[in-house]
């Protein structure tokens, strides 16, 4: 089953993705999009690596998620992937990469994303473009998967 797990920051999305991937065969994959650009992010990446320990083979790919997607995989996370594109001056490529990613989705993948458009509209143009792109990407992913869960205070709510 293909699943999109969404929600706010620290709402339990990554933990839930790990739970949903438990039924996958022991040959599990984890596609990590984060890049260690500062000490805090390096610590966060290490915590996530420790959570999944030896349960997953990790692929670290900040941009080419369409090339690296495979069966029995968690993709964590779409907002960081989009961030990587924006800050490497490749903002215009997200739509095409996402289209190829969706076209290659296997039957057993869990995708993690964030809901960021439920609050204040950002004041600067870059942040507004990012929020719009993430909202559009989330909508396309939600339409493409079998199940969507919204994490609220650590509790998964079935949306689709």
Q: In the structure encoding, which two tokens stand for residue 155, read together?
A: 């509790």
- Which residues form the catalytic set? 48
Closest-CA residue to 129 (of 117, 118, 141, 140): 117
- Which of the 8 DSSP states describes residue 91? G
Query: SS3 for 14?
Result: helix
Residue with tokens 């792109």: 133
| Cβ-defined contacts of 77-80 (< 8 Å, 24+) | 77/13, 77/14, 77/33, 77/34, 77/112, 77/113, 77/114, 78/33, 78/111, 78/112, 78/113, 78/114, 78/134, 78/137, 78/138, 78/141, 79/113, 79/114, 79/116, 79/134, 80/33, 80/34, 80/35
Mean confidence (pLDDT) of the chain: 93
Percent of the chain with pLDDT over 90: 76
How many domains, the chain? Answer: 1
Mind listing the pLDDT tens digit for each residue in 80-117? 999 999 999 999 999 999 999 999 999 999 999 999 88
- Whole-number pLDDT of residue 66: 97
Q: Quick count: other Cβ atoms within 10 Å of Cβ 4?
A: 26
Contacts of 47 (CB under 8 A, 6+ apart): none
This prediction's pTM: 0.93
- Whole-number pLDDT of residue 72: 97
d(CA 148, CA 83) in angstroms, rounded, equals 22
Mind listing the pLDDT tens digit for each residue in 140-160? 999 999 999 999 999 999 999
Domain interval for residue 145: 2-158
Residue with tokens 């924006």: 86
Split at pLDDT 50, 70, 90, the class of 125 is very high
Mind listing the pLDDT tens digit for each residue in 51-72? 776 788 889 999 999 999 999 9
Mind listing the pLDDT tens digit for each residue in 9-55? 889 999 999 999 999 988 999 999 988 788 888 888 788 777 776 78
Q: Judge whether residue 118 has pLDDT over 90.
A: no
**CATH number of the domain residue 67 falls in:** 3.40.50.300
């Amino acid at each position: 089953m293909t699943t999109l797990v969404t929600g706010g920051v620290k709402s339990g999305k990554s933990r839930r993705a790990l739970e949903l991937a438990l039924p996958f065969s022991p040959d599990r994959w984890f596609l990590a999009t984060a890049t260690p650009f500062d000490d805090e992010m390096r610590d966060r990446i290490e915590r996530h690596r420790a959570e999944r320990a030896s349960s997953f083979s990790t692929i670290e790919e900040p941009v080419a998620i369409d090339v690296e997607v495979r069966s029995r995989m968690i993709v964590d996370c779409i907002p960081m992937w989009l961030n990587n594109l924006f800050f490497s001056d490749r903002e215009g490529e997200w739509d095409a990469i996402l289209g190829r990613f969706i076209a290659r989705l296997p039957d057993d993948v869990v995708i993690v994303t964030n809901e960021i458009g439920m609050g204040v509209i950002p004041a600067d143009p870059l942040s507004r473009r990012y929020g719009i792109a993430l909202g559009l990407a989330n909508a396309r992913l939600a339409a493409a998967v079998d199940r969507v869960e919204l994490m609220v205070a650590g509790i998964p709510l079935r949306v689709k």
